[in-house]
Amino acid sequence: MAELIYDLTVRFCSHYIRKFELKLTSVARGSLEELRRDYEDFLRQRGLPLLPPDHPALVRFKAKRGATLKAVQAWVAEEIEWKHTDAHGPAPTATDRTCRPPSVSAPDRPCSSLSSSALAANAALSPLNLACHLLDRQLAAQARHSETEGGFTERLHRVRSAARQFHFPSPQSTSSTQSTRPLPRKFK
């Protein structure tokens, strides 16, 4: 009996948690969207440019695939350093040529008009935009799943109805068939 109660509890919890999955994903998406707007407001209020995704500086940033604050700081410092070199930019070294992925083509010359704050804010916006896009896709998939499988209440109703049918058969059915019927799939 204890094993059955445990199994039912585990099954119930897995369904119950799913009820909030769509809601929690929406909350996460909303929080990231608010942060994204804050960075855009920062740029707008200071008259700094919001760079398009294909801007040469952002292409170089994405090519570095920096995953830490130090990597972003190093990229900003590099861009600022390049801004202060001669009109032709720094001479590429063998290391520069081998570090850049061959599929990414970005001009070696940075845009001299970008400040460190503009670079840092645009660097923050790049992964924020990607995260928002990925969460939009996840929300769409969760919505499709909810449409096909139903929400928590609908699934719980189906499971309870099946359990009642199993334990309390209708008077028209024979008792011999009801007693040997396996548990519904949701309870396995």
User: pLDDT tens digits, the chain, 188 residues: what are they?
Assistant: 777 887 787 777 676 666 677 788 888 899 999 999 999 999 999 999 999 999 999 999 999 998 899 999 999 999 998 876 644 544 444 444 333 444 444 455 555 579 999 999 999 999 999 999 999 999 998 888 877 776 666 766 777 788 777 777 666 655 454 445 555 555 54
- Within 10 angstroms of residue 122's Cβ, the number of other Cβ atoms is 24
pLDDT at 96: 45
Residue 24 near residue 142, CB atoms below 8 Å:
no
pLDDT at position 156, please?
67
Predicted pLDDT of residue 111: 54
Q: Phi/psi class of residue 141: alpha, beta or left (left: φ > 0; alpha: ψ in -120 to 50)?
A: alpha
pTM of the model: 0.61
Q: Which residue has 């445990």 as its token pair?
A: 6
Q: List the domain boundaries for the chain.
A: 2-167+177-187
Residue closest to 75 by CA, chosen among 114, 101, 104: 114
